[in-house]
Every structure is written in structure tokens, then in C-alpha cells.
Amino acid sequence: MRVKNITIIFSFLILLGLMGGYFLGSFENDAGKSKLNEEKRSDVSGFHYSSFSQKDFFDSAFEKTIRPQISKNQHIRGIIIPHHLLASNLIANALYSISSEKPITVVIISPNHFFTGQGQIISSLYDWETPYGILESDKNIIKRLQANRLLDIDELPFEKEHGISNLTAFIKKVLPNAKIIPLIIKDTLSFRESDFFLDNINKILPENTLFIASLDFSHYLPSQIADFHDTKSLAVLASFDYEGINFLDIDSKPSLRIFLKYLASKGANAFNLLDHSNSAYILKDENISETTSYITGFFSLGNQSKNEQTTLLAFGDLMLDRYIRKITDKNGKDYPFQNIKRFLIGNDLTLANLEGSFTDFQPKPLDPDNTTFTFNPNLIPVLKKIGFNIFNLANNHSLDFGKDGLIKSQKYLEDNNIDYFGDPSNKDRISVIKNIRGIKIGFVGYNEFNNSDFHKIIEEIKKIKQEASFVVVYTHWGTEYQTNFSETQQEKAHQFIDAGADVILGSHPHVIQPVEVYKNRIIFYSLGNFLFDQTFSQKVRQGLGVGIVFDKIKLDYYLFPTETKGFQVNLLGKEKGDIILNELADQSLAPEDIKKQIIKGKITINF
């Protein structure tokens, strides 16, 4: 987590007077002003220090707790809490659920925020001085873990590691006789190292050890995107989805993987959510552009709790030739996406319409009038790394370099484990079904600019509807640069929904077109350009990202306006984004309550 962001958040607190002078000593980059931090730097006596020495700050946090009713028979083995002190009430509320006078060993696992110290997994032998007294480290066990080469001991990183120091006073308050094993984990920890640690730690830790994960979730994004990303995070926690961790908006993926795998080995599979919030909600200012989100909950012995939600982030046209090729050759393959990388992670599926083919053929000479596109295959690993894992190929550019070009493109995608669906001729591999945590999402592609049998697409939708929980139809249709949909588009869209489609996503017009609600299903007639080198009008530089949450009882749609500037995709700020959403609501065919939701950037369709 960036120190800059912590400073911004705490500055809000000071300005709003929410916590008065409590936070004046909490900024790492104000350490020179804090007597406590001076002690931490000069200390050689075998102690680390909790972030604050003011006992009344922590008392105040506990006084505001809801104090959840936890059955003693739940056998809690793990708890997940944030380390931002902005969320002090959430931390206190969660830890109160495990309060006990009994002696217990507590493992606290945290990100190594500053990537310091020797080793991938680092611990400390020092005790911790808190306003409630000394919180002892479990020195004997830590030394055994070190002797078995499961961790390294290095005291220096703990002088500034707020993932640990922000929590020690809370822990001492609720577990006064606990001994702790603090662990900070580097992001470079490999799966092999992680598995070796997990395979051996159970041989050393006491049976009733409590694991505390000190983790913050979505970072540096507006509140609605944070909520969308957290939907997946909550599903991953409930279902122990280790694969889903790979693209999760969280500050330490290795820490969460160790935490969940340890709990699974103990049979503590039942996740119980206590709180979910973010810094914008706590500060009561949803206009904050960079939030941090917080999830608290405990894990007890028992079966996994059900969370049957899956997320999809969908965009319009993605074109990587012509001037986009020129700029990526000059500035790097990820240049167009540098401003939205955080936005692109945190989703189960990330989708766009691929306006061309990946081939090793020579591209056409640079010319704005050239409309025959081929993309550099070396861009595929970059797209995968930033989150894209599925593409629509049913469009009028997939055959720009003939059937050979399409086959090459499909092979390149397959070699990189990226799924695709849709065929420019509407014949082969029209559809694909993705299984995410047991929820099956079917995708069907349709290219209007091929005179094949339209009835075949209808039959494919009906077929996929029998096999999948939800059906997404991605269409390539309409007239370029027209800001409204045609009667033909509407007729086909209605037929798709009549056949079983749950949502329709459109591309090709290169501008955003209105939304329609038909039979309680939503049609996005055109999402506009996601990334294209067209610059002749503002509308061709704008697009609409749609974040869809699939749920058995409802579908949520988050609306994210984007804009390309200098051939880089950017999330629009609230002022410009609101203009697009207001225009979209005004032009859409939808009930008034849905139009109001469009303006707010989130639509909910209940079944």
C-alpha cells in the first residue's frame, strides 16, 4: 500500500475532525515528528511498538462496536481484518468476536508493504509494547520455524510495518494472554515456497492456533469499482477459490493464499462475514477517487458457506493496429492500459471485442484509411497479465487476413490460455461456457455483417441456455457512428432475449448507444470504443465498461464510462462520467426507476 494514500486518507480524518489528534502520530512519512517513531528507530532493547500510545483511541473504537453474538461452539480458527486505522471500529468489532482470557498462540499474517528485510517470509522475536501492556512474541515457536527454514527473522522491517503494528494493541486488548507470531509476506513468494511453508507449519503450531489475516482489499479506485471488485473477493473468501486469488484486488495475494489453505487444512471452511465497507463510506464522501475497501469476518469449523456470485467486466471494441501499434512499439506493450491496470484486475472475467487477428503477418503500411488489421502476438501475454481472459471474435475484422489469419489468432489465444467465442462467419465455435466457482456463464457471438442463417444463432442461444446458468450474447451490428440503435438491431435483440439471453452486449458503431430493458433483461446496444485510434470526435474516444454481477436472484450492472486520450484508456472522473450517464439515461428505453439507476451508475434487475 502506498504511503501517499495513507497520508491522504488520514488527512481527511484530520480535516473532518473524526478522530482528532489520534492520527497525528500515525503517518509513516511523518515519522520525524513523532516521538514514538523516534523511539522505534533508536530501539535496540528487544521491543517494537504499536502504532499509537494513546489508550483512549483504542477504547473509543471498542466502545462503538456492535459486538456480534458468536456461539462458543463455532470454533473460530481464523479472522480477517484490515490494517487501516481509519477502519478502527471494524477492526475492534471483528476482534471482539474472539475475545478470551485464555492463553493462545496467534499468527498475524500481513503484506510486506515496503518489500524490506531478508527472506520471503519474515518474522520478529521482539515483544510489542502497547497501551494495554506488553504483547509477547511466541519466541520458542518462531525459533523452531526458523530452524526448519520456514521463515527468516529480521527486526528492521517491523519498525515501519503497519500491517502488524496497527493491530497489536487491538489484539492485546481482546486476547490479553496471547503470544503472537508476526509474519510479513513479500509478493514475490512463489507457490512452491508457499506450499513448503504450509506443508510444515502444521507440525509446529499448536492445535488451537488462531490465524489473523491483516489485509486490505480494493485500492486506489472509486467507491463503485471497489464495490464491484469486492463482490469477487467475498466470493473467493467464501468458496476458498485459490485460482481466483490470482486476479484479486487485494494488497497481498500470497498472504491470503497461505491464510485460506491453512484454514482449509484445519477444516475451518465456514466463512462468516461481519463487515464490508470502504474509506469513502466511512468518511461519508463517495466522491473520493481513490478508496481502500475493508472486509472483516471469521472462519470456523464447518462446511463452506454459499456465495454464488460471479463477475464480468465487459468492454466494446479493442483494436491494436495502426497508431496503437506505433505507440506500443515506442512506449511499451502495456502503454495503452497503464492508467487502468488496477481497474482491470479483480474480476472473474474480463471481455472485449477483438477488432482484428493476432498474426505474424506483416501489417499494412501506416495509414489512417487502412482498415485491414493484424495485431502483434507479443501483446497477448500483456493482455492476459492485466486481466483479459476472454474475447469475442464475431466481427467484420477477424477475417482481415483471411482464414489463415483467424486460425493463427485462435491458436495464439489458445497457447496463452485465453478463451474466445464467436465466428465472423457465424459457423464455428459460436459459443463457449465458462465455469466460475460452479456458476456456468454461456457466451454466444453474433456478426451481423455475414449473411449466414440467423436462425442458427437463435438455436445456439437456446442450446446454451439449457447448459448454463446465464447466457451473454455479444453482437457486432448496427451502423458506425450512429448514436441510436436501428429497428433491425432492436428486432434481433428481442429475438435473442426470447430465445433465452440474459444480457446483450453490442459493438461496431464505435460510439455508445442507448440501453433498453426488454422482458426484465438489459440490452446494451453499443459499448462504444474501448481502445481504438479514432480521434476525430469526442464520442469515438469514449466507451462504456459494464461490470456485471451474476446472481441467482438478480443481475447487477455497474456502469464505468471511459475515454481514450493519447491512445491510453482512462476512467472518466465523476463530472465527465455523469454527463455520459445522464445522456445514456435520457436516451434509453427503460422505466423511470431504471433511468435513475443509470444516472447513479448501477442498475439492479431482480428476477
Boundary of a domain, candidates 300, 327, 355: 300
CA distance 397 to 319: 10
pLDDT of residue 2: 42
Residues 212, 153 share a domain: yes
Q: Which three cell numbers stand for residue 56?
A: 483512549
How do strand 554-565 and strand 602-606 relate by DSSP bridges?
Answer: antiparallel
349 neighbors 434 (Cβ within 8 angstroms):
yes
Number of domains in the chain: 2
Residues 322, 287 share a domain: no
Phi and psi torsions of 447, nearest 5°: -110, 110
Residue 121 sits in a domain whose CATH number is 3.40.830.10
**pLDDT digit string (tens) for 316-366?**
999 999 999 999 999 999 999 999 999 999 999 999 999 999 999 999 999
Contacts 24+ apart (CB under 8 A), 435-439: 436/244, 436/310, 436/348, 436/349, 437/235, 437/239, 437/241, 437/244, 437/307, 437/308, 437/310, 438/308, 439/308, 439/309, 439/310, 439/469, 439/470, 439/550
Phi and psi torsions of 600, nearest 5°: -80, -10
Residue 527 has pLDDT above 50, yes or no: yes
Q: Give the 3-state secondary structure of 422-464.
A: CCCCCCCCCEEEEEECCEEEEEEEEECCCCCCHHHHHHHHHHH
For 363, the domain range is 310-606
CA distance 266 to 248: 24
Residues 365, 475 share a domain: yes
pLDDT of residue 451: 84
CA angle at residue 358 from 356 to 362, to 5 degrees?
A: 95
Query: How would residue 492 be classed by pLDDT, with cut points 50, 70 and 90?
Result: very high
Residue 14 CB partners (closer than 8 Å, separation 6+): 23, 24
- With pLDDT > 90 as the criterion, what percentage of the chain qualifies? 89
Q: Which three cell numbers stand for residue 345?
A: 484486475
Residues 449, 380 share a domain: yes
Query: How would residue 53 be classed by pLDDT, with cut points 50, 70 and 90?
Result: confident
Lowest-pLDDT range, 18-22, 310-314, 343-347, 434-438?
Answer: 18-22
Residues 209, 330 share a domain: no
Phi and psi torsions of 327, nearest 5°: -75, -35
Residue 417 CB neighbours (<10 A): 9
Boundary of a domain, candidates 241, 268, 300: 300
How do strand 542-550 and strand 554-565 relate by DSSP bridges?
Answer: antiparallel
How do strand 152-153 and strand 121-123 relate by DSSP bridges?
Answer: parallel
Please give the distance of CA 114 from its chain centroid, rounded to a whole number.
Answer: 21
Residue 311 has pLDDT above 80, yes or no: yes
How do strand 419-421 and strand 431-436 relate by DSSP bridges?
Answer: unpaired
Among 337, 226, 216, CA closest to 289: 226
CA angle at residue 607 from 556 to 309, to 5 degrees?
A: 45
What 3-state class would DSSP assign to 260?
helix
Within-domain flag for 16: no
Residue 456 CB neighbours (<10 A): 13
pLDDT of residue 66: 74
Q: What kind and span of H or E run contains 65? A: none
Residues 214, 353 share a domain: no
**pLDDT digit string (tens) for 133-145?**
999 999 999 999 9
Boundary of a domain, candidates 300, 331, 349: 300
Mean pLDDT of 43-67: 84
Q: Which three cell numbers stand for residue 103?
A: 492463553
Residues 273, 325 share a domain: no
This prediction has a pTM of 0.92
pLDDT of residue 68: 60
CA angle at residue 222 from 217 to 223, to 5 degrees?
A: 70
CA distance 185 to 173: 25
Residues 293, 248 share a domain: yes
pLDDT of residue 27: 34
What 3-state class would DSSP assign to 570?
strand
pLDDT of residue 41: 37
Residue 564 sits in a domain whose CATH number is 3.60.21.10
Within-domain flag for 424: yes
Residues 593, 540 share a domain: yes
Mean pLDDT of 291-297: 98
**pLDDT digit string (tens) for 391-427?**
999 999 999 999 999 999 999 999 999 999 999 999 9
Within-domain flag for 501: yes
72 neighbors 300 (Cβ within 8 angstroms):
no
Residues 319, 261 share a domain: no
CA distance 340 to 317: 16
Give CA separation, 56 vs 61, 62, 87, 388, in Å.
9, 10, 16, 48
pLDDT of residue 70: 59
Residues 361, 255 share a domain: no
Mean pLDDT of 376-394: 98
Computed on alpha carbons and rounded to an integer, the radius of gyration of the chain in Å comes to 26
Query: How would residue 64 be classed by pLDDT, with cut points 50, 70 and 90?
Result: confident
**pLDDT digit string (tens) for 96-134?**
989 999 999 999 999 999 999 999 999 999 999 999 999
pLDDT of residue 14: 37
Sequence-ordered strand ranges (E) for 222-330: 270-278, 291-300, 310-318
Query: How would residue 44 be classed by pLDDT, with cut points 50, 70 and 90?
Result: very low
Within-domain flag for 7: no
Within-domain flag for 17: no
CA angle at residue 468 from 497 to 236, to 5 degrees?
A: 115
Which comes out higher in pLDDT, residue 33 or 404?
404
Within-domain flag for 442: yes
**pLDDT digit string (tens) for 435-467?**
999 999 999 999 999 988 899 999 999 999 999
Phi and psi torsions of 274, nearest 5°: -105, -55
Query: Which string of DSSP letters, residue by residue, matches 460-518?
Result: HHHHHHHH-SEEEEEEE-S-TT-SS--HHHHHHHHHHHHHT-SEEEEESSSSB--EEEE
Residue 19 has pLDDT above 70, yes or no: no
pLDDT of residue 561: 98
Tell me the pLDDT of the chain averaged across its residues.
92
CA distance 259 to 211: 7
Sign of CA dihedral 370, 374, 378, 382: positive
pLDDT of residue 97: 86
Q: Which three cell numbers stand for residue 591?
A: 422505466
CA distance 278 to 82: 10
Burial label, 471 (beta-carbon count in 10 A; 0-12, 13-18, 19+): buried
pLDDT of residue 71: 54
Within-domain flag for 519: yes
pLDDT of residue 468: 98
Residue 569 has pLDDT above 50, yes or no: yes
pLDDT of residue 42: 35
Residues 215, 324 share a domain: no
Within-domain flag for 305: no
**pLDDT digit string (tens) for 230-289?**
999 999 999 999 999 999 999 999 999 999 999 999 999 999 999 999 999 999 998 899
pLDDT of residue 140: 97
Phi and psi torsions of 569, nearest 5°: -85, 135
How is residue 368 annotated by DSSP? T
